A and B are shown apart, each in its own frame.
Chain A
Amino acid sequence: MLICSLSIFGIVALIAYELVARSQLTIHKFGLQFFFKQAWDPVNGDFGALPFIYGTLVSSIVALIIAVPLAVGVAVFLTEMCPKFLRGPLAFLTELLAAIPSVVYGLWAVFILVPILREHLNPFLMKTLGWTGLFTGPNYGIGMLAAGVILAIMILPIISSLTREVMTAVPHTQREAVLALGATRWEMIRMGVLRNARIGIVGSIILGLGRALGETIAVTMVIGNRPEIVKSLLGLGYSMSSVIANEFSEASDDLYLSALIEIGLALFIVTIIVNAIARLLVWAVTRGAPPRVA
């Protein structure tokens, strides 16, 4: 049993070691500059990861902007408002959303979501919000926005189920106390529940972010796969995970391979940090830490 649990350490250590060892070439050649360069030129051996970092960050942020309000809304509805007979089936449905493999999300996005975006949502956004500069340029359908939307659908169940868990952990006396002061139901939820659960909710959002950063297949299928930095969300982009998925098997020389593995290493480190922060926050709330009232 001890060996089994130590093997978990072993696995994580091996992953880290392999990633570091195989990316030595680019680490030595480019140093930190690797993460701030825009060039991605396999032919001339010039590599910079900035477009991919940009694509990953922007698509994840778009996903969070869409998913967070919805997820918290669902959690509030399911824990505080929903009639009992609906609670079970609805919770099950949202959990089912988490069980769908990412390749199926990708398939759905390519054939259903992208046409909807291209025909309906994008023209609307270009007309109403075109002046911000975020929704301009050619309307491909695929691109950053499509990636953000499909990521949002994928991280929703994670955020909402954890938020639900944190909200149910808030003691009932808190709710009763606020209600006894004459609060409406919404005020009770806002003051009694959300305020006490907010650290846990932030934790669950960060956990969702961790998932969004590392998501590969669905994003690769819709983000457009062009290593450029475009301000418009309708433009084509590229993410860290999808460049690995697309180009890893064609990477012919060692430097190219090493550049891709270094991107993988960066992704590994970032997701570890993000997940660690999130876990600590969620634990702090669900493990019976005294609720903080501000």
Chain B
Amino acid sequence: MALPQKSRKANYAWRMFANHMATGLAVLSTILVVAPLIAIFVYLLYKGASSLNLAFFTKTPAPVGESGGGMANAIVGSGILLALSSLLGVPVGIGAGIYLSEFGRGGKLANFVRFTADVLNGVPSIVMGISIYSLIVLPQKHFSALSGGVALGVMMIPTITRTTEEMLLMVPNAIREAALGLGVPNWRSVLSISLKTASPGVITGCMLAFARVAGETAPLLFTAFGNQFWSANINQPIAALPLQIYVYALSPYDEWHRLAWAGALVLILLIVISVSLVRYVTTRGVLKGAS
């Protein structure tokens, strides 16, 4: 560059300045992003822990105006809903993932299925809620735990499908060839060789999907609907932890706000524990058997 000496110096100073500015801004934005996370956790612990007690886990909600009461029925209800959704989501998701990686690899159909799974993943949860409402609740003419479970299960499918596929793709071909070389039929090799090798990763995917739907509220608004009492009947409306938090947070009563914070703390502990468990397992090498 044929710049005069002075402006070259100024130019250099400017470049160093820009460099430091960029570093500073990047650090600042990281702090700004981590701050709300820490704020959320601190408030949850502070507000939630002070109102957590044994009654929270053993009692049903108290009537308006009375203190005490808990969310025992909502915790059990969430458990039932998640069990129902796993019954639907896990087999279908894993099956589709196996198809994508083992049978349809590289095919046109597989690409299309993959794309549809991504589309399904992006469907807003409230839209999922109203479509399950018109598919199941309207013909049945009543809200039910079953419809809530189906809504959550459908939301689990794309996540599980994509992680199963990715994990199966990491299984080396040599292992498959070895199995086939021994005369094992293809379906057997897929199930007991490929899937077994990839199983830790597949389980991780299922856990992630589980953690994601555990906190979903919107699809349950018009399907599981919520319930103030004990119910384990899958044909009846059922309580769920996120729903209960939503209703309580918007109520005008301090007592209910307190319970909402406690519920949020329980919910988030559940999710954080499962996510960190997953992270712990994956960072220790998912496919130990494969290498």
**A279 contacts B130, CB within 8 Å?**
no
Could you pull out 24 A-B pairs where Cβ atoms are within 8 angstroms? A1-B98, A1-B103, A4-B94, A4-B98, A5-B100, A9-B116, A15-B127, A22-B134, A70-B32, A78-B30, A94-B33, A101-B271, A102-B215, A103-B264, A107-B249, A107-B261, A111-B257, A112-B39, A186-B21, A210-B122, A241-B218, A268-B127, A272-B122, A274-B122
Q: A8-B92, A186-B18 are in contact. List 16 more A-B contacts (CB 8 A).
A: A1-B102, A5-B100, A5-B109, A11-B154, A12-B123, A19-B130, A101-B267, A102-B216, A103-B242, A103-B245, A112-B43, A184-B18, A216-B217, A217-B218, A268-B124, A272-B123
**A156 contacts B103, CB within 8 Å?**
no
**B221 contacts A249, CB within 8 Å?**
yes
Which chain B residue shows the least CB distance to A14? Answer: B135
**A119-127, A229-237, A259-267: which lies at the interface:** A259-267
**B30 contacts A74, CB within 8 Å?**
yes
C-alpha gap A221/B264 in the complex (Å): 15
Residues 1 to 53 of chain A near chain B (Cβ within 8 Å)? 1-9, 11-12, 14-15, 18-19, 21-22
Interface check B287, CB cutoff 8 A: no
| Nearest chain B CB to A165 CB, angstrom units | 13
Chain A interface residues toward B at CB < 8 A: 1-9, 11-12, 14-15, 18-19, 21-22, 69-74, 76-78, 81, 90, 92-97, 99-108, 110-112, 153, 156, 160, 184-187, 189-190, 210-211, 213-217, 221, 241, 244-245, 248-249, 260-261, 264, 267-268, 271-272, 274-276, 279
Which chain A residue shows the least CB distance to B219? Answer: A216
| Nearest chain B CB to A203 CB, angstrom units | 12
Partner of B26, one of A8, A76, A112, A244: A76
Report chain A residues within 8 Å CB of B117. 8
Given known pairs A14-B131, A74-B29, A217-B246, the reply for A104 and B19 (CB within 8 Å) is: no
Interface check B198, CB cutoff 8 A: no
**A101 contacts B215, CB within 8 Å?**
yes
C-alpha gap A19/B130 in the complex (Å): 8
Report chain B residues within 8 Å CB of A73. 25-26, 28-30
Given known pairs A70-B32, A74-B30, A102-B215, the reply for A8 and B123 (CB within 8 Å) is: no
C-alpha gap A73/B24 in the complex (Å): 10
**A96 contacts B275, CB within 8 Å?**
yes
Main SS of the interface on chain B?
helix
The residue among B23, B98, B103 with the most chain A CB atoms within 10 A of its own CB is B23
| Nearest chain B CB to A290 CB, angstrom units | 21
Report chain A residues within 8 Å CB of B222. 248-249
Report chain B residues within 8 Å CB of A190. 22
Partner of B214, one of A6, A94, A101, A210: A101
Chain B contact-residue range equals 35 or more
Interface check B36, CB cutoff 8 A: yes
C-alpha gap A1/B161 in the complex (Å): 11
Interface check B95, CB cutoff 8 A: yes
Given known pairs A9-B113, A221-B249, the reply for A260 and B124 (CB within 8 Å) is: no
Which chain B residue shows the least CB distance to A3? Answer: B95
Report chain B residues within 8 Å CB of A160. 33
Interface check B3, CB cutoff 8 A: no
Interface check B120, CB cutoff 8 A: yes
Given known pairs A93-B34, A103-B215, A260-B130, the reply for A4 and B125 (CB within 8 Å) is: no
**A90 contacts B125, CB within 8 Å?**
no
| Nearest chain B CB to A156 CB, angstrom units | 6
